[in-house]
Structures are given as C-alpha cells and as structure tokens.
Chain A
C-alpha cells in the first residue's frame, strides 16, 4: 500500500480528531537496578506475573519475579537506555502476539514483529503467549497421520496429528534436516507449519528460509526467530509465541505442525534468566521449574474434538477437529540422553526419533536409530498401506541388528542367517533418502513392497538406491492412476497389491537401472 504525503497528513488529522483522551490510571514503579537485561523495579504493587511493563523509550519488559517491595523484570529487547530512577508503568496486559492466516509466509521475531522486510502484518487478532492447554474433555485421540515424507520415519516411527514427537541427537546429525523435510512435505496437505528457531545462527536461519522458498513451502509456513544475538528473554518466549500462532489454527478446526529448534537452547536461556533473577539453581544449574517450562509448552500440542472447535469459534466452524503437532528438537552432548533436559523432554513427548553420529558418518541418512526410536501413539494414525508394509521393515532391521554384531565373528553362517543379514543390509540401504526429497505415500509403499517381497534380494547392495529411483520413475510414468489411488485412499486392497506387484515385475524385465 503506497500513500502520498497529503494522504498521510489526512490520516493523522483524522486520528487526532477521533482521539479520545481518557483519564489514564495505572500503577507506577521506579527502576532500582539494571543488570544484564534484568531490571529490578521498586513499587508496582499491582503487577501481575507475566505482565508487560512499559519502560521509557518505548521498550517493554515482562514481570517474572513478584516480591514484597520489588518486581524482577526481564527486558524484551534493548535495555541500554534504561537508567536507575526511570519510571515503569503497568500496562495491565499479559504479553500478546499477533496470530492469524496473515502470518503465513512471514518471518517474525519472538514478539510477532515482521523481520523479513515485507511490510506490516495485516491481522487484528492477538493471543496471549501463555495459555492453558486444552482440557481432557476437549481432546480427541490421535488417528490421522502427519506424513513426514521420510521412509525411515513414516514406516517405523509414524507421527499422528496432535502428537508430540521428539527429534533428538548430537550436533550435526541432521535434526533440522528432518524438520525441514517435514515442512516441505506438508505442501498441499493443508497442514500449516511453524518453525521456531531458538538461539541459532542468523546465517542458518536465512538458509532454512531460502530452502523453504526454493521448495515452495513458505506459503504455508510461519518462521519465528529468536537468534543467538537476541536477548535470553526473547529466546525463552519464542516457543510460546510460535505455539500461540499454531493454536490459532488448531482452535479454528485446522491442522498445524510446529517445530521447536531447539528446546535445549531455550532451557539455556531460561537458566540464564533464572540465575540472574537469583532463583536457586538446581541440577546442572537449571532452576526448579525447567521441567514445567517444557511440559506446559508441549502439552498445548494436542488434537481437539469438533465440539471444542465449534465452541471456540462460536459455531462458525462445525464438524472439524483441530490439531497442533509438535516436533521439538533436543541437542545432546556426546550422545548423552540421560542429561537433565533430554530426559525431561523424552518423558514429556509421545516418542522420539533418535539420530546417531555413527550412523550419519557411515552414510545412513537420515541417521535414525531404529532400535531406540519409538512412537507411542503414531501407530494408530498410520496410513493402512504403510502400516502393513512398514511392519516388516521394522522386524527385518531389528533382526539384522541382532545378527550383524554376531556375524562379524563367525565365518560360516547358515543359510537363513545369511539371508536375514542380506535382507537387513538392503533394507538399511533402502531407508537412506536424500535431503529435500520427501516421498509420497504411494512412492513409499512401492519401495517398501519391493523390499518386503524380496525383489531387492537379488540386487547388489550398492544398486539398491539406483533400483529404487528407477522403479519410482517407472511407476510415475507407467502407473500414474495406481499411484494416485494409493495416495488418495491409503488402502492396501488385493487390487492395489496385485497392481504394484505386476508393475514391479514388469519393471524388472526392463532391467533399466
């Protein structure tokens, strides 16, 4: 929207005309000390926990510690101009951020201000960042899948709409890559995505944004950024901000997917704030409520039933359930999952995708450890065809792992053991997948079917991936109707089974891989 100067002055004139100055009553306090973004304020006897406080120069703070004579405030943004004796005003509002469809395709900071240079965000809707999670009555069990688009995950560790599935692993194991693939794969599914970057380098965030734009995935995505250079307070609230934006979609009968990348850094930021506020340190110097900051955040990811959606939208949306699926990311140090924060988040979530450096370095990407990864509720939500075909994969890999260690010592193996190992090697090879190349249900089904029925057993291990890509290209050009049908229904009927089987046989006859 372009305005010329005379229009602007007209607008201002109108605003001044309509300005209705009312008697302003508020509570005031004075700044006693400013230390590392923590401000101690004397007075403010009526401040609320989590209330926004107005400082001179247009900065805001959030009241965190309410004490007898003073209030401990964390500054949101710049605090360099705050001096002792400054007046602080109560605003009577809990911290709020803009929400709504208008945020899709935008990059915002932890307070919901746009930082992508695309102008202001056109929404009047606001939502407090801290909300209580939906109650027991409002919820519905998870029974629809979120397709991540990675064979290794969708077949063995399925994620359902409304589930909380943790992605955990050391640095450089491809945690963010899984999250980005998940976002790209939601294109056209109607699932809105929110990517919350906490304490990351700005360069890597810019990379993520660019990749999403390249793959046309920004249109259904909101990116919330609290980079490493921003204050600890902003890094602490960023996940709640993203969650409120996701809850808007959930409460309006839509499905949303939120990625917190990563919660370890949020816990660090919170530890910093807590120590500066002189709260007593506990294990690993984290404050006593570090479990609660994550549990209350992840509890807000849920599936709510149609009645609740109807109630929340005042009857505007009927007969639709809403969901917010969360993929929190935790970075471990040296594979130590028994550190404080990882154990906490593992116990809160409905399962975890465990990534390992060893696997990653040996070329198995995504580096998912199939033995330690679980999904506690996703099985109920899995597409029928993937569930049928993926069950075998999990078993093959489990048996392979058991035998592989043992087989290193033995030179002569009996026929069945050797077969088991060879199958395992091929399935492991098949589970490898390139980044930014998510697969549809039909593509996955064909690959898994080929592995399950032994079509891969006669191939060289090295040839498996070439075989797969050639097979999928063949299916795409020769059997588009069958593929579309699988994608649409997700059933594993005899008709589909025979269709896939005969198509693979025809493909093998061409021996074109």
Chain B
C-alpha cells in the first residue's frame, strides 16, 4: 500500500497539473473515477496481468471499454499506464488526485459515519460544526455504520473525530 502511494504520486500530480492548466479538473475527476472502477474489475485484471497478451492488444481492450466515457487526455494517461505496466495504480492515483483537487480548492473530503441515516438538517448541522473545527469547507459523504451504536464519527484523511457511543465506551473501558 505504501509503495503504491509512492509510485502513484507522480502520475496523480501530473494529471492534476494538466487538468488545472486546461481547466478540466472536474472532467478529469469523473474520468479517473470511471477508470478506477474499470481497473478494479476482476476480468480486466486477469487480461492486464497476462504476459502473453501484447501491450497493444491490452490498450485496445481497455479503450474499447472506455469508448467515449473519458476525455482524450485521460486516455493518454491510460495508455501510458499500460505501457509502463502500472494499471493497478489507478485507484490510488484517483485518491491522490482527489486530495490534490481538494487541497487546491480549499475543502476537505469528510466521511461522516453515523449509526442511523441522517436527515438534511442534521447533516448540515454537523457539516457546519466540522467546518468550524477544521477551518475549511467540508465536502461530506454520509455512511451508515450500525456498530457505532449512536453519535457520529468523522474521518478526514488521517484525522478522526470520534463522537460516537462506541468510541466513548472504549474511552471509559480504558479509564477503568
């Protein structure tokens, strides 16, 4: 995992710089998301990792799948990755690309874990609180995790703000 991030970083950085230059950051974002889903497909992985199939043939197959779903420059990146035999980096590149994008546009992607589905008002309330705490705009994704019992848990990259019942129980257990 660590090594993948190191390898993926230059690709993600290059893609983001190019996207910013051509002002197509959102289009790139969509293309990369699509590609990372494609790259995780099991049948495709089998083809890509088969040494008997030539690189040209692999490029043909992947291009066939993508067709018009992605823009031309993303296709170039795809070709480059297949040439270098690094297609498995795509999911990581996507994650890093999103990080660069978020950093540049001044917001953070936060995963909000809640024990039960949140309504709009609750969600915007939490987002406002998080924005105050993190001093940045928050782009929240709500996920439901029953094991939290109650409360919410926010994850922004490495940072975790734990306000869940299960987290408090853990704290209490440690104190005792």
Q: Which residues of A contact B159 (CB under 8 A)?
A: 25-28, 46
The 0/1 profile, CB within 8 Å of B marked 1, for residues 2-32 of chain A is 0000000000100110010101111111101
Contacts of B6 in A (CB 8 A): 68-69
Given contacts A19-B172, A21-B172, A23-B163, contact A32 B158 (CB under 8 A): no
Q: Answer whether residue B121 sits at the interface, using C-beta atoms and an 8 A cutoff.
A: no
List the B side residues contacting A32 at CB < 8 Å: 1-2
Q: Tell me, yes or no, whether B61 is within 8 Å of chain A by CB.
A: no
B119 within 8 A of A: no
CB neighbours (8 Å) of B167 from chain A are: 24
Are B158 and A44 within 8 A (Cβ)? yes
B168 part of interface (Cβ distance < 8 Å): yes
A43 interface residue per 8 A CB criterion:
yes
A25 and chain B: residue at smallest CB distance: B161
A21 x B168 contact (CB < 8 A)? yes
Asked if B162 and A24 make an inter-chain contact with CB atoms under 8 angstroms apart, the answer reads yes
Evaluate contact between A24 and B161: CB separation under 8 angstroms: yes
Indicate whether A46 sits within 8 Å of B158 (C-beta atoms), given known contacts A16-B172, A21-B172, A23-B163: yes
* Closest chain B residue to A84, Cβ basis: B1
Q: Considering only CB atoms, which chain A residue lies closest to B170 in the complex? A: A24
A433 is an interface residue with CB less than 8 A from chain B: no
Interface assignment of B160: CB less than 8 Å from any CB of chain A: yes
A228 and B168 CA atoms in complex are apart in Å by: 39
A residues less than 8 Å from B162 (CB atoms): 23-26
Bound Cα distance A29, B160 (Å): 10
Q: Does B5 contact A (CB under 8 A)?
A: yes
Q: Give the Cβ gap from A11 to chain B, nearest Cβ, in Å.
A: 9
Evaluate contact between B168 and A27: CB separation under 8 angstroms.
no
Query: A161 at the A/B interface (Cβ < 8 Å)?
Result: no
* Chain A proximity of B136: nearest CB distance (Å): 15
Total interface residues on B, using CB and 8 Å? 18
The chain B residue sitting closest to A89, CB to CB, is B160
| B 155-176 binary contact with A (CB < 8 Å = 1; else 0) | 1011111110001100110011
The CA of A69 and the CA of B96, in the complex, are separated in Å by: 12
With A12-B176, A24-B162 as known contacts, state yes or no: A42 contacts B2, CB within 8 Å: yes
Which residues does chain B contribute within 8 Å of A68, judged by CB atoms? 6
A176 touches B (CB below 8 Å)? no
Among the interface residues B1, B155, B159, B163, which one has the most CB atoms of the partner chain A within 10 A? B1
CB–CB B158/A28 < 8 A: yes
A45 close to chain B: CB less than 8 A: yes
Alpha-carbon distance A494/B168, docked complex (angstroms):
76
Task: List, in ascending order, chain A residues with CB within 8 A of B161's CB.
Answer: 23-25
Question: B131 to nearest A CB, angstroms?
Answer: 15
Distance of B27 from chain A, by nearest CB (Å): 28
Complex CA–CA separation, A12 to B173 (angstroms) = 11
- Determine which residue in B5, B6, B158, B159 has the highest number of CB atoms from chain A within 10 A of its CB, and name it: B158
CA–CA, A19 and B6, complex, Å:
43
Bound together, the chains give a CA A108 to CA B175 distance in angstroms of 22
- A175 proximal to B (CB < 8 A): no
A40 touches B175 (CB 8 A): no
Q: What's the nearest-Cβ distance from chain A to residue B2, in Å?
A: 4
0/1 interface trace, chain B 1-29, chain A, CB 8 Å (1 if under): 11001100000000000000000000000
Chain A contact-residue range equals 20 to 34
Shortest A389–chain B CB gap in Å is: 61
Q: Which of B1, B155, B172, B175 contacts A42 (CB 8 A)?
A: B1
B135 to chain A, nearest CB (A): 13
| Interface of chain A residues 410 through 439 with chain B (CB within 8 A) | none
A25 to B133, CA, bound (A): 11
In the complex the two chains form, what is the Cα distance from A15 to B172 in whole Å?
Answer: 9
A278 to B141, CA, bound (A): 39
> Chain B nearest CB: distance from A8 CB in Å?
11
Residues of A within 8 A of B175 (CB): 15, 19
A45-B2 CB under 8 A given contacts A19-B172, A25-B162, A26-B162: no
Residues 49-76 (chain B) with a chain A CB within 8 angstroms: none
Which A-chain residue is minimally distant from B168 (CB atoms)?
A: A21
Nearest CB in chain A: distance from B22 CB, A = 28
Complex Cα distance, B168 from A30, in Å, reads 21
User: Is A144's CB within 8 Å of the partner chain B?
Assistant: no
Q: Which residue of A lies closest to B172 (CB)?
A: A19
How far is B133's CA from A23's CA once the two chains are assembled, in angstroms?
12
| Bound complex: CA A27 to CA B158 (Å) | 5
In the complex the two chains form, what is the Cα distance from A499 to B158 in whole Å?
Answer: 78
CA gap between A29 and B159 in the complex, in Å: 9
Give chain B nearest CB distance to A49 CB in angstroms: 17
Residues from chain A with a CB closer than 8 A to the CB of B168 are: 21, 24
A42 and B171 contacting across the interface, CB-CB below 8 Å: no
- A229–B97 CA distance with the chains assembled, in angstroms: 47
Query: 1/0 contact trace for A32-69 toward B, CB 8 Å?
Result: 10000000101111100000000000000000000111
List of B residues within 8 angstroms of A46 by Cβ: 158-159
Q: A21, B160: Cβ atoms under 8 Å? A: no
A373 close to chain B: CB less than 8 A? no
Closest approach, in angstroms, between the C-beta of B13 and any C-beta of chain A? 13
B157 engages A45 (CB within 8 Å): yes
Contacts of A24 in B (CB 8 A): 161-163, 167-168, 171
Report the Cα distance A19→B169, complex, angstroms. Answer: 10
Interface assignment of A70: CB less than 8 Å from any CB of chain B: yes
Chain B minimum-CB-distance residue to A67: B2
Most buried by A among B157, B159, B168, B172: B159
Q: Which residues of B contact A (CB under 8 A)?
A: 1-2, 5-6, 155, 157-163, 167-168, 171-172, 175-176
Q: List 14 additional A-B contacts (Cβ < 8 Å) besides A43-B157, A44-B158.
A: A15-B175, A19-B172, A23-B161, A26-B159, A26-B160, A26-B162, A28-B159, A32-B1, A32-B2, A42-B1, A45-B157, A67-B2, A69-B2, A70-B2
| Residues of A near any B CB (own CB < 8 A) | 12, 15-16, 19, 21, 23-30, 32, 40, 42-46, 67-70, 89
Q: Which 6 A-B pairs have the closest CB atoms?
A: A21-B168, A70-B2, A69-B5, A24-B162, A43-B158, A27-B158
Report 15 cross-chain contacts, Cβ distance below 8 Å, ordered by A residue: A15-B176, A19-B172, A23-B162, A24-B168, A26-B159, A26-B162, A27-B160, A28-B158, A28-B160, A32-B1, A42-B2, A43-B157, A46-B159, A67-B2, A68-B6
